[in-house]
């Protein structure tokens, strides 16, 4: 094995690719060669290192020096000073608390603070294209243990005992789901990994797939073994070019190593995985719509029951799990249910991966134990609100998630506590909004999304999303009345009760939480006032009475 | 077989479709790997679209025949997913995210500047046929919002002043 005196990790997560990390990596390679260091310094493109808005990020080991916003022009200084002379370039060094680099970095314990890494244990540390590096971090050990020394029932019992719940949004206990499918007799069963990550504000699944693809493959092998499925599919968004590339390479590598295919680990169990590409439809994240899409149809949700667990892809029993859920499985099998339960809360064990976006200093990918408070996330890992502004609202769980106000900052973030507030953990998106924004304007943006993404199959959702958007647009133009808002509430309630799938049902979640927690601010819009100063009347509505009232109120003649 | 020549995009859009036999033979070649495999319809449409950046009606007919599915279903699928287009588009597709995370980061301003810069409306194609601008629900790069995606490349942390330089790379 080659020995290198220094490792240069270049973040190759998609946000860093967008910031230009490829050019930086190329320049580092060139410069290292120019200085004749190619036998001493190894350059690794890793998965996401965490703080996405600081990219391109470069970390130099063994010192663990983190460089942020590195440009091609900075490279010669890093190579010439740091790698040649051992003098870190202070000018480029990122000295703030960096959320996710890295648990292996014992020299700087402050870096990981309240983060715990189970799902992301390898993301940002290993080269995602190297199966050897994954294996060196105990990769495929869990699959080997399960297939050679555990019965399928024992695997399911272990997952049940761990208390793992679905991380895609619905929070259904994973072990129970596996139990349903394991019990059904069928000539063929399937495992589907749901990587159709369409929830705005969520990009964790892509960063897991891009940073540690073999972990997802290993998790799927274990799930397949537990229910008796020999075929798995990864359904992935068509726009996720890099994720598709990385996971396809990883699957080919696993096949080459005999970790996918016939007779895995000499156990007699066979399993293989194929990638299916989506084509841009939010609703395909719903499991039955996803299955329809995989069968080559329009992604319109099916009537439930029957549930996919008994009648899914091609009418066969199918387990559909989110990427993050699957990535939790190998560590659980490897370390046991008790180990997993030491993280999080008794009813929501483990960790949760969040993507932190919006008005917060440190944006990006984080993994924290279940049950820590929103305040700890925003002001701890997130580094607070920039520009001296005040926290106003946090939307948890993506567009279909609920909105929390300042009074909810100290509520523990776990499934039960958030449900009590009318919100949900959902997909793990955390959108932080400061006081320069108006809740009505935000509500409009959310409703526009739902209107666009409703698949059009069932009437409550197709018509409801459109009317709700109309009403809130009218409110934003300061032309709505109390009657309009009453209608909005009623509509959302009907949609919640009668829509075919979670898309239509969940519109009420953000809407009701905004209407309940920010009643005063919305009320002001009825009186022709936007307290945040964002909303303006539409001059085209000049004949409407609310506009006239406003003009009178503002002294405009 | 129906042949179409000449401009078929919106007037003055500069988009030309030539659904001649050469093109249709190419379509046939691309979809032949999915022969009688209806389940691969979405993938087949991806492959066909990569030829001309959109799905002409005649091409859908070839797909239907080859995969052995009704043309109505092929059309249904081609019009359901936002990545597919049945009308001609420019050489490069610009996707702009207007979801809440990008909205909070000031996407509206980027959208206005971009449309001004290109002189088109949302969904439109520039007169030189180079760009088509579409909205996207989420590009999955919210950490660097506001973001746009041109073909398969994402540009993040954008301010309006960055746009001319970004667009110049494609002109």
Two structure tokens written together for B81 = 């997913």
What is the domain-level CATH number for residue A166?
3.40.50.11540
A335 assigned to some structural domain? yes
Mean pLDDT along residues A385-389: 93
Two structure tokens written together for A473 = 């647009």
Which superfamily, per CATH, for B92-168?
Glutaredoxin (3.40.30.10)
A270 assigned to some structural domain? yes
Q: Is the pLDDT of residue A324 over 70?
A: yes
Please say which residue of A391, A409, A434 terminates a domain: A434
pLDDT confidence of residue B10: 46
CB-based contact (8 Å) between A292 and chain B?
no
pLDDT confidence of residue A97: 52
pLDDT confidence of residue A548: 55
Scan residues 32-51 of B and list those with Cβ closer than 8 Å to A.
Answer: 38-43, 45-46
Q: Do residues A144 and A267 both lie within one domain?
A: yes
What is the domain-level CATH number for residue A33?
3.40.30.10
Q: Do residues A146 and A166 both lie within one domain?
A: yes
Mean pLDDT along residues A357-372: 91
Which ranges of A421-507 would DSSP assign to H, the alpha helix?
Answer: 439-453, 459-476, 482-498, 502-505
Q: Which helix (H) or strand (E) holds A209?
A: helix A204-211
Kindly provide the ipTM of the predicted complex, given to two decimals: 0.89
Compute the nearest-CA separation of B87 from chain A (Å).
16
Looking at chain A, the whole-number percentage of residues with pLDDT higher than 70 is: 93
Q: Do residues A136 and A248 both lie within one domain?
A: yes
For β-strands A403-404 and B153-155, DSSP reports them as unpaired
Q: Do residues A328 and A418 both lie within one domain?
A: no
Closest among A53, A63, A68, A62 to A10, alpha carbons compared: A68
Mean pLDDT along residues A37-44: 93
Closest Cα in chain B to A456: B80
Q: Do residues A445 and A422 both lie within one domain?
A: no
Kindly list the domain boundaries of chain B, sorted by start residue. 1-89, 92-168
Please say which residue of A388, A403, A434 terminates a domain: A434
CB-based contact (8 Å) between B137 and chain A?
yes
Beta bridge partners of A11: A46
Residue A552 pLDDT class (50, 70, 90 cuts): low
Please list every residue in chain B whose beta carbon sits closer than 8 Å to the beta carbon of residue A11.
Answer: none
Cβ separation A14–B140 shorter than 8 A: yes
Identify the segments of chain B with pLDDT beneath 70: 1-18
| Span between the terminal Cα atoms of chain B, in Å | 35
Closest among A488, A510, A520, A516 to A395, alpha carbons compared: A510
Q: Is the pLDDT of residue A1 over 50?
A: yes
Range of the domain at A286: 131-340
A117 assigned to some structural domain? no
Q: Is the pLDDT of residue A553 over 80?
A: no
Cβ separation A206–B147 shorter than 8 A: no
Q: Do residues A217 and A327 both lie within one domain?
A: yes
Compute the nearest-CA separation of A442 from chain B (Å).
7
Out of A198, A238, A296, closest to residue B40 by CB: A296
A112 assigned to some structural domain? no
Cβ separation B81–A280 shorter than 8 A: yes
DSSP state of A449: H
Q: Do residues A461 and A533 both lie within one domain?
A: yes
Please say which residue of A317, A340, A363 terminates a domain: A340
Q: Is the pLDDT of residue A55 over 90?
A: no
For residue A460, report the phi and psi dihedrals to the nearest 5 degrees.
Answer: -55, -40
Q: Do residues A404 and A453 both lie within one domain?
A: no
Closest among A124, A107, A104 to A58, alpha carbons compared: A124
DSSP state of A99: S
A393 assigned to some structural domain? yes
CA distance A467 to A488: 8
Cβ separation B154–A202 shorter than 8 A: no
A55 assigned to some structural domain? yes
CB-based contact (8 Å) between B106 and chain A?
no
Name the domain count of chain A: 4
Cβ separation A53–B39 shorter than 8 A: no
Cβ separation B99–A201 shorter than 8 A: yes
Cβ separation B103–A445 shorter than 8 A: yes
Residue A88 pLDDT class (50, 70, 90 cuts): very high
Sole residue written with tokens 């387990």: A319
Two structure tokens written together for A403 = 């909105």
Q: Is the pLDDT of residue A547 over 80?
A: no
Q: Do residues A220 and A367 both lie within one domain?
A: no
Q: Do residues A193 and A307 both lie within one domain?
A: yes
Compute the nearest-CA separation of B78 from chain A (Å).
9
Q: Is the pLDDT of residue A102 over 60?
A: no
CA distance A364 to A357: 7
CB-based contact (8 Å) between A240 and chain B?
yes
Fold (CATH) for B1-89: Arc Repressor Mutant, subunit A (1.10.10)
Mean pLDDT along residues A329-346: 96
Please list every residue in chain A whose beta carbon sits closer than 8 Å to the beta carbon of residue B69.
Answer: 296
What is the domain-level CATH number for residue A367?
3.10.20.600
Question: For A104-158, what is each residue's pLDDT tens digit?
Answer: 443 333 434 667 889 999 998 899 999 999 999 999 999 999 999 999 999 999 9
Please list every residue in chain A whose beta carbon sits closer than 8 Å to the beta carbon of residue B165.
Answer: none
Q: What's chain A's average pLDDT?
A: 91
CB burial readout B10-36, b (16+ within 10 A) else e: eeebbbebebeeebbebbbebbeebee
CA distance A243 to A20: 17
Q: Is the pLDDT of residue A369 over 50?
A: yes
Q: Do residues A246 and A268 both lie within one domain?
A: yes
Q: Which helix (H) or strand (E) holds A11?
A: strand A6-11
Q: Which helix (H) or strand (E) holds A473?
A: helix A459-476
Using omega within 30 degrees of 0 as the cis cutoff, is the peptide bond preceding A519 cis?
A: no
Q: Do residues A480 and A496 both lie within one domain?
A: yes
A125 assigned to some structural domain? no
């Amino acid at each position: 094995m080659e020995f290198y005196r220094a490792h240069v990790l270049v973040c190759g997560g998609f946000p860093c690719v967008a910031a230009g990390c490829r050019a930086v990596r190329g320049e580092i390679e060139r410069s290292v060669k120019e200085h004749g260091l190619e036998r001493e310094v190894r350059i690794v493109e890793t998965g996401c290192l965490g703080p996405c808005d600081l990219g391109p990020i470069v970390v130099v080991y063994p010192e663990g020096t983190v460089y942020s916003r590195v440009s091609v022009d900075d490279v010669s200084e890093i190579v010439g000073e740091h790698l040649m002379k051992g003098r870190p370039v202070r000018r480029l060094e990122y000295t703030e608390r960096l959320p996710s680099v890295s648990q292996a970095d014992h020299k700087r314990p402050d870096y990981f603070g309240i983060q715990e890494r189970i799902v992301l244990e390898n993301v940002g540390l290993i080269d995602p294209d190297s199966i050897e590096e994954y294996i060196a971090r105990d990769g495929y050990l869990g699959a080997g243990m399960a297939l050679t020394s555990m019965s399928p029932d024992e695997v399911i019992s272990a997952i049940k005992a761990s208390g793992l719940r679905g991380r895609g949004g619905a929070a259904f206990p994973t072990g129970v789901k596996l139990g349903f499918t394991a019990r059904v007799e069928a000539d063929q069963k399937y495992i589907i990994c749901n990587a159709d990550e369409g929830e705005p504000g969520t990009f964790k699944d892509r960063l897991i797939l891009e940073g540690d693809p073999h972990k997802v493959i290993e998790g799927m092998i274990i799930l397949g073994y537990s229910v008796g499925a020999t075929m798995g599919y990864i359904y992935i968004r068509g726009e996720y070019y890099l994720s598709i590339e990385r996971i396809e390479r990883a699957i080919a590598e696993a096949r080459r190593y005999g970790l996918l295919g016939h007779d895995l680990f000499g156990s007699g169990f066979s399993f293989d995985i194929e990638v299916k590409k989506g084509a841009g439809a939010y609703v395909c994240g719903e499991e039955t719509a996803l299955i329809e899409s995989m069968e080559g149809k329009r992604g319109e949700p099916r009537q439930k029951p029957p549930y996919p667990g008994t009648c899914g892809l091609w009418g066969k029993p199918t387990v559909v799990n989110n990427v993050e859920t699957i990535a939790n499985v190998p560590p659980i099998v490897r370390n046991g249910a008790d180990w997993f339960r030491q993280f999080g809360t008794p009813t929501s064990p483990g960790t949760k991966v969040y993507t932190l976006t919006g008005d917060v200093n440190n944006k990006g990918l984080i993994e924290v134990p279940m049950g820590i408070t929103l305040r700890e996330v925003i002001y701890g890992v997130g580094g607070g609100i920039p520009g001296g502004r005040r926290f106003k609202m946090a939307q948890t769980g993506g567009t279909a998630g609920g909105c929390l106000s300042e009074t909810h900052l100290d509520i523990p973030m776990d499934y039960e506590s958030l449900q009590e507030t009318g919100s949900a953990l959902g997909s793990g998106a955390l959108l932080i909004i400061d006081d320069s924004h108006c809740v009505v304007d935000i509500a409009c943006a959310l409703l526009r999304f739902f209107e666009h993404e409703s698949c059009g199959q069932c009437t409550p959702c197709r018509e409801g999303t459109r009317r709700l958007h109309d009403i809130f647009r009218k409110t934003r133009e300061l032309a709505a009345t109390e009657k309009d808002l009453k209608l909005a509430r009623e509509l959302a309630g009907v949609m919640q009760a009668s829509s075919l799938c979670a898309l239509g049902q969940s519109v009420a979640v953000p809407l009701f939480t905004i209407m309940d927690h920010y009643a005063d601010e919305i009320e002001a819009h009825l009186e022709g006032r936007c307290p945040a100063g964002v909303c303006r009347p539409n001059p085209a509505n000049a004949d409407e009475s609310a506009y006239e009232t406003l003009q009178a109120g503002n002294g405009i003649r | 077989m129906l042949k179409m020549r000449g401009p078929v995009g919106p007037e003055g859009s500069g988009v030309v479709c030539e659904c001649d036999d050469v093109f249709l033979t190419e379509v046939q070649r691309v979809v032949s790997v999915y022969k009688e495999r209806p389940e691969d319809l979405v993938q087949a449409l991806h492959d066909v679209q990569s030829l001309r950046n959109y799905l002409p009606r005649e091409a859908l007919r070839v797909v239907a025949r080859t995969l052995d599915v009704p043309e109505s279903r092929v059309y249904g699928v081609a019009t359901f997913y936002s990545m597919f287009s049945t009308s001609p588009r420019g050489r490069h597709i610009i996707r702009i995210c207007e979801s809440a995370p990008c909205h909070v980061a000031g996407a509206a301003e980027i959208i206005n500047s971009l449309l001004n810069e290109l002189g088109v409306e949302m969904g439109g194609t520039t007169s030189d046929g180079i760009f088509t601008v579409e909205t996207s629900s989420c590009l999955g790069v919210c950490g660097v919002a506001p973001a746009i995606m041109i073909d398969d490349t994402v540009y993040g942390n954008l301010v309006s002043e960055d746009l001319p330089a970004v667009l110049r790379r494609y002109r």
